[in-house]
Amino acid sequence: MAEVSFSPRPASVGSARGSPRGGNMATAYYSASPMMRHPGVSQSPRTPSFTNTYPIVTDKTISSHMSKNLGHAKTYYNPARNVLYSRYTQNDWANSNRGHYNLSDRERAAAESIRADAWRTVKECDARTRNRQFSNTRKLGERTQDIAFWKQELHSEMDAMQNEIENLREHKRVLEKALMDSNNPLHIAEECCMHREKRQGIDLVNDDVERQLSREVGTIRKCQDRMKRLVEKASIQLKLDRAVLHDLDQDSKDKNHAQNLDDRMHGLRNTSAGVGYHPGIENVDHTITIPYSWVKYTQENIARSQKMRAASERLRGEIDACLRACANEMWSQFNSVNNSFNSRLQETSDARNKLQAHLQRTMQEIFDMERNIDILRKAIADKELPMKVAQTRLEERTRRINVEMCNDPSMKGLQREVHELRESIRFLKEKLWTSEQALARLMKTKSALEHDISVKENSLAIDGKACMGMRKGFPMEPKQGPIFSMPVTY
């Protein structure tokens, strides 16, 4: 707008400055705000950009505006004419009004533009706020769905791991029971070995029964070592499974807490209770993960749990295989020992029966030999009288005299008879001595047979009663008893 120059009128200066009415009019004019304000727009503090563009009018006197904005000449005062004449002309007054009108138009146009811009800014900010809040609400909903999904995965894995822990604990219990029950056949086998040490004489033989018993003891101890190793592995695996289950449970609890919190935040609205200002909270960042690492952490927990479950399942398979293999090996060796015992008992019984038969025959022979000795002794005794007769005849015939001392046939016959009787007695005595020696040997054989029979009876008592008595009390069916009917769970 072009500057308007005013010609001073000294005569009117005094009246203008001295007139109270003029001063009141200037004050009233500039007291009103130069901006047109809409009744519906609230008064808000001016921003720095607004202040720079539209400076605030602080000096509300006419002289200040006339000198700065309108650019009229410097006023000078004539004291002689202050009272009689006014300061400005009518044109000055009209020009001043037009300047104010134009200034008002410019200010109102600027104010309207500012109001339009402010309204657009309000609309844009409101739409952006609503969109941002809707987007974050949707993201919170998606986040709760993701948490719910992974929490469900964790719960499924926890249930599977819990079942696996229960199955492995049951397998471990069965394995420990089988290990304890295997002490019974081991004790029986060792007792059988100790009892068989009580055998006597020739029956202390390293027979097949002893070899099978030693093999049975070795088999049971080997199975016990395998079961002990599996028990230790099962204990370690249970600790690992419980550790993984604890991690899954902790992760599930954390996700449950986060889901509850995000559910509440997802349902939070502008009209909800409990909302408030938290200055500077947008600058606080306590996060330690990103979505990728968050998902990866849960996936690693689940993968580690699945790996532990697979290892636990393999261990349960090893336990089942070990139980079955140990049961089969021990049962097979148990049967082998029993078969060896039965064979040995049959052999010992046959030997005892044969010895008894020989003893009977020996005793019969002893009886016959004793009768033979009696016959020989009687025969020898029977030769005494004929010897006496013959010798008496010879002795009496020695009393013949002179020529009658003839070596006649009678003499020769009597001499021959004495020789024959002596030879017969000698032969009978030899037979008697031979019979007596035979009788002594028969008696010795009888004693040996009786001793051997007693040894066989002792062996039969040990193997048949002591050993097989214990083993018969042990289960003889494959599906009976503590060690041969191990319950296997799947």
CB 348 within 8 A of CB 460: yes
Among all chains, which residue has been given the structure tokens 């509440």? 264
Question: Which candidate, 367, 366, 365, 352, places its Cα nearest to that of 450?
Answer: 352
CB 356 within 8 A of CB 436: no
Query: 315-324: per-residue pLDDT in tens?
Result: 999 999 999 9
* Joined tokens for residue 84: 């009689």
Query: 98-109: per-residue pLDDT in tens?
Result: 999 999 999 999
Is 185 a residue whose pLDDT tops 60? yes
**CA angle (50, 52, 56) in 5-degree steps:** 80
Question: Which candidate, 334, 353, 311, 271, places its Cα nearest to that of 164?
Answer: 311
Per-residue pLDDT at 490: 34
* Joined tokens for residue 129: 């706020």
pLDDT-derived band of residue 9, with 50, 70 and 90 as boundaries?
Answer: very low
Rounded to 5 degrees, φ, ψ at 272 are -75, 155
For the residues 90-95, what does the mean pLDDT come to?
90
Fold of 156-268+288-353: Substrate Binding Domain Of Dnak; Chain:A; Domain 2 (1.20.1270)
> Is-above-0.75 flag for pTM?
no
Query: 23-77: per-residue pLDDT in tens?
Result: 444 444 444 444 444 444 444 455 555 455 445 555 555 455 444 444 444 554 5
Distance from chain centroid for Cα 221:
26
Per-residue pLDDT at 276: 87
Is 169 a residue whose pLDDT tops 90? yes
Is 356 a residue whose pLDDT tops 90? yes
